[in-house]
Amino acid sequence: MKLLLAEDTEDMNRAVCAMLRHDSFDVDPFFNGEEALNAALQNGYDAMILDIMMPLRDGISVLTELRKREIYTPVLLLTAKAEVDDRVAGLEAGADDYLPKPFSMKELLARVHAMTRRKTVYDAGKLSFSDFSLDMDTLTLSAENSVRLSLREAELLQVLMQSRETPLGLSHLLSRIWGSEPESGEETVKLYVNFINRKLSSVASSAVIRREEKGFYLTGETLHE
């Protein structure tokens, strides 16, 4: 698989490249956001790793421009900022995952593997619930209009759609979507639920994800196909 890596710290860039190449990835390294954006617009990549703090263009600016141009390659953001607001900004810009610095190379590699294999692990195709549909091939949520979801948003929504209105517990969702990632917890699930509910509203769907004692569930009038 071909990866784009944008990290302006030379030693870090070399170390990450070496690890990924040792794991059989083909990596194109860049040291500023402008070069990374130009490469992303000209080449096809299976995934991208973007440092948030870079010269010329920061990682979120690069990501925003890619999504604006309808380039939906999975993106992992690297950031020295661990505050919730920074994570939210990256996810709202269209990131599929984030990894705060400092991080272990082993965890970075695990995140890249998870990001690149995710679409083959989950069922593709189109699902319907209430007044909306989810196309897992294109990660598109549709009702009166359409919006593109991140991989994780689509995964979480798909799991909830498949369970219909049966509540799913926090531990089940964390295990199913985030696996053993140490940064993930209740706040992570709540954050993504909030993102999905906002996108359901943006496409004019009446469906919503709610939480009760037993867990999270979708509510709405199910469409029978």
Q: Are residues 116 and 128 in the same domain?
A: no
Evaluate whether residue 224 is within a structural domain: no
Evaluate whether residue 225 is within a structural domain: no
Point out the domain boundary residue: 94, 120, 146. 120
Q: The domain spanning residue 158 has which CATH number?
A: 1.10.10.10
Q: The domain spanning residue 96 has which CATH number?
A: 3.40.50.2300
Q: Are residues 140 and 101 in the same domain?
A: no
SS (H, E, C) the chain: CEEEEECCCHHHHHHHHHHHHHCCCEEEEECCHHHHHHHHHHCCCCEEEEECCCCCCCHHHHHHHHHHCCCCCCEEEEECCCCHHHHHHHHHCCCCEEEECCCCHHHHHHHHHHHHHHHHHCCCCEEEECCEEEECCCCEEECCCEEECCHHHHHHHHHHHHCCCCCECHHHHHHHHHCCCCCCCHHHHHHHHHHHHHHHHHCCCCCEEEEECCEEEEECCCCCC
Confidence band, pLDDT 50/70/90 cuts, at residue 148: confident
Q: Are residues 91 and 194 in the same domain?
A: no
pTM metric for this prediction: 0.61
Q: Provide the domain limits for residue 197.
A: 123-219
What's the pLDDT at 83?
A: 61
pLDDT tens digit sequence for 119-134:
444 555 788 998 999 9
What's the pLDDT at 222?
A: 44
pLDDT tens digit sequence for 172-191:
888 888 776 656 678 888 88
Number of domains in the chain: 2
pLDDT tens digit sequence for 53-102:
899 999 999 999 988 876 778 899 998 766 667 677 888 888 888 888 88
The percentage of residues in the chain with a pLDDT greater than 70, rounded to a whole number, is: 89
Q: Are residues 9 and 114 in the same domain?
A: yes
Q: Are residues 162 and 102 in the same domain?
A: no
Q: Are residues 96 and 152 in the same domain?
A: no
